[in-house]
Structure 1
Amino acid sequence: MKNRTAVERKSERELVVARTFDGPARIVFEAWTKPELFERWWVPKSMDVPLLSCEMDVRVGGGYRLEFGHDASKTVAFFGRYLEVTPHARLVWTNDESDNGAVTTVTFEEKGGKTLLVLHELYPSKEALDDAIAGTEGGMPEQFEQLDELLVTLGASVGRS
């Protein structure tokens, strides 16, 4: 049975997205924190907008910057900083590209070799969430399907060094 992505508005400012992944938390966490893995699944293929650059310094106080576009002269960037990093368990970051950016918390809970991932976004206002929700409801399930596909290709080999 295929894993399902649940997208739920919890309040006027909160959105929660949850999905179980077939893989240990260690591997799912690494897919979120290693740029060479993250860039393979983050952008929904249906958007047809390539990820031109992916910079991630995943540590408390470190930052990230993702640039999208069809050429380097016209890009859209998403960027922020990491507030919490607990390996294989929790990530918290800011979305600083606009005044309407959310604080995103992602938790990874492993049970029986599977990982329950819960993404929680807290927006500064109801209007900010209203603006963001359409893209999240359509894009996040596709992104998570792409993450599922990546996890299958990675198997248990990620992180062994």
Structure 2
Amino acid sequence: MNSRTTVERTSDRELVATRTFDGPARMVFEAWTKPELIMRWWAPAASGMSFLSCETDVQTGGSYRFVFGHPAFEQPMAFFGRYIEVTPPSRLVWTNDEEHEAVTTVTFEERDGKTLVVVHDLYPSKEALDGAIAAESTGAWPEQFEELDELLATLGASV
């Protein structure tokens, strides 16, 4: 399977990123839900951002809060929201309770030991998605997924 990331605007309000990872859905899902693993791939090294803290309560109705630092920021930046649906190891749905207020759905489909991950961001309006694109907050998936690939290779070696 191809491990290249694709990012596509599928409508005025939707953005979809896909990639196939080398590893079972259980392992990929854990990388999306365990704070100690999230902190190892969510903020790519090339971005210059550092992950300062990661709090998750990964259950339906639970919440998350990610705090990042960057030399260009005057103060740390927090991203937070709540989990709408958690179905291990196949589906996560959460709110993004910051500026653009998207709802993110991530599915994990295992095929022959590899996992197809589809990230679907639904924005409340065309203007919100346009704003996210202009702020470049939608363009990090390829870099993040490269970091996740590296993490999964490490986890696979340690299993």
Aligned-partner Cα distance in 2 for 1:104–1:96: 11
Matched, 1:81 2:82: yes
Cα pair 1:27 1:156 within 8 Å, conserved: no
- Report the equivalent of 1:60: 60
Aligned pairs (5 A) from 1:8-157: 8-70=8-70, 74-98=75-99, 100-133=100-133, 134-137=136-139, 139-155=140-156, 157=158
Give the superposition deviation at 1:123.
Answer: 0.2
Q: Give unpaired runs (5+ residues) of structure 1.
A: none
TM-score, reference length from structure 1: 0.91
| 2: CA distance, partners of 1:113 / 1:105 | 22
Count residues with an aligned counterpart: 156
What whole-Å deviation, never above 9, does each CA across 1:61-89 have from its counterpart, x for those lacking one?
A: 10000011159x81111000000000010
Q: Give structure 2 stretches of 5+ with no counterpart.
A: none
Amino acid at match of 2:82: R
Output the CA distance in 2 between the equivalents of 1:29 and 1:56: 14
Structure 1 residue 135: deviation in Å?
3.2
- For residue 157 of structure 1, report the CA deviation from its aligned partner: 4.8
**Residue 64 of structure 1 aligns to a residue in which SS?**
strand
TM-score between the two structures when normalised by the length of structure 2: 0.92
